[in-house]
Amino acid sequence: MKKGIPEVFQVSPYFVFFLVHSVQIGVGILGFQQSLVSAAGNDSWIAVIIAGIAVHIVIWIIFQLLNRAEMDLIDINKFVFGKWLGSFFSLIWMFYFLSVGFTVLFSYFEVIHVWMFPEANNVLLSILLGVLIVYTILGGFRTVAGICFLGVVIPAYLIFTFLFPIPYTEIISLFPIWNHDLKDMFLASKEMTLSYLGFSTLLMYYPFIKEAKTSHRWAQMGALLTLLTYLLITIISLSYFSEEQLVKQIWATLTLWKIVEMPVVERFEYIGIASWALIILPNVCLLFWASTRGVKKVLGINQKYTLFAFVLLMIILSTFIQKREQVAMLSSWTTKVGYYSEFGFVPLLFLLYLVVSKVRRKKN
């Protein structure tokens, strides 16, 4: 499988760092604190670390699977489950990737409505972003990887804006440590893993990486940067807000930006939200690319036509999914499917692959 992708369409191993990190940082980071603190209170930062470690373990499992199989998710499913059942599971994965992309976009539209332009037209926003998505994906995977690189590097300055609340924080709010039972910590860790979802796109773009086996460390480094980013924001949030305030804050990260003061900027959250578009775009492009690539391999439909269909579907859905309750319902469904897919199905698929491979070797 790996040899089937010409080198001209492949990217260097270090791009995996940007691909993994960019797909994990989406709209969720703007308000993940509410559900996290509701479950674990001041111990939320511990749940961030536990969930991050779980992500590292699953990434290790993914590379163990991919390095042995040297195939992408579509071919592995067919190898393990057979042509028809394997194709069925693959289509579910493609639908999941597409749903995550929709969730990220519609959640971002909600942020724009609440914080910037209440009368903004979702259809117009969908068309504008849809044009960018089509233009990027039609350029091929190398273009998608390039936009992921820019989506990490250009908005990197935003991390320094979280230094502004530090003078007003009270680190004592983090104590006492581990004053919640294991059930609460498990629920909080589960909530946090939902913010890390998306790294399973590795299963689709692995064949497009030069010397893919050497890219494992870059994937782990990308996930580590994600963990440290969430951990920093969680600690600052817990130290700046009280637990009662965080439970009521839907967009705690955006509220932190309200205290950013600069000589020429009065409302920095406007700049932050606008800059976040540079983070959302590569996130959605990679998810749409993975989904359309999978449909092409399973159903034999030209990736370009599938892409146009998905973008058109996005524009149509944007006219129906506008209220917060609708976005929350979509997000809840998508994250549940993603949790069981990435943290349940992937390890199971690895075990099944080992068993099937061993059985076939014995038969041969």
The tens digit of pLDDT for each residue in 158-215 reads: 888 888 888 888 888 888 888 888 888 888 888 887 788 889 999 999 999 999 999 9
Please state, in angstroms and rounded to a whole number, the distance separating the CA atoms of residues 110 and 118.
9
Range 52-71 burial, b when 16+ CB lie within 10 A, else e: bebbbebbebbbebbeebeb
Which residues 6+ apart lie within 8 Å of 259 measured at CB? 164, 165, 168
| Cβ count near 133 (within 10 Å) | 25
Phi, psi dihedral angles at 265 (to 5 degrees): -130, 120
Class of domain 16-348: mainly alpha
Please state, in angstroms and rounded to a whole number, the distance separating the CA atoms of residues 318 and 320.
5
Phi, psi dihedral angles at 178 (to 5 degrees): 55, 55
291-305 tens-digit pLDDT: 999 999 999 999 999
Structure letter (DSSP) for residue 180: S
Please state, in angstroms and rounded to a whole number, the distance separating the CA atoms of residues 237 and 165.
9
pLDDT of residue 260: 77
Taking the chain, what is the end-to-end CA distance rounded to the nearest angstrom? 21
Q: Is 38 exposed, middle or buried (0-12, 13-18, 19+ CB in 10 A)?
A: middle
Please state, in angstroms and rounded to a whole number, the distance separating the CA atoms of residues 122 and 131.
14
pLDDT of residue 197: 86
Which residues 6+ apart lie within 8 Å of 236 measured at CB? 162, 165, 166, 169, 256
pLDDT of residue 348: 95
**Of the candidates 229, 223, 169, which has an alpha carbon nearest to the alpha carbon of residue 45?**
229
Q: Is 218 exposed, middle or buried (0-12, 13-18, 19+ CB in 10 A)?
A: buried
Q: Is 343 helix (H, G, I), strand (E, B) or coil?
A: helix
Which of 32-41, 180-189, 293-302, 314-323 has the highest average model confidence (pLDDT)?
293-302
76: its two tokens: 């592995």
- On the question of pLDDT at 3 being above 70, the answer is no
Q: Is 248 helix (H, G, I), strand (E, B) or coil?
A: helix
Give this prediction's pTM.
0.93
Average pLDDT, the chain: 89
Which residues 6+ apart lie within 8 Å of 110 measured at CB? 324, 327
Q: How many residues does the chain have?
A: 364
The alpha carbon of residue 73 and the mean position of all alpha carbons in its chain are separated, in whole angstroms, by 18
Please state, in angstroms and rounded to a whole number, the distance separating the CA atoms of residues 108 and 25.
12
- On the question of pLDDT at 79 being above 80, the answer is yes
Which residues 6+ apart lie within 8 Å of 253 measured at CB? 29, 30, 31, 32, 33, 233, 237
Region 315-328: mean pLDDT is 86
- On the question of pLDDT at 1 being above 50, the answer is no
Structure letter (DSSP) for residue 8: G
228: its two tokens: 């440290």
Q: Is 143 exposed, middle or buried (0-12, 13-18, 19+ CB in 10 A)?
A: middle
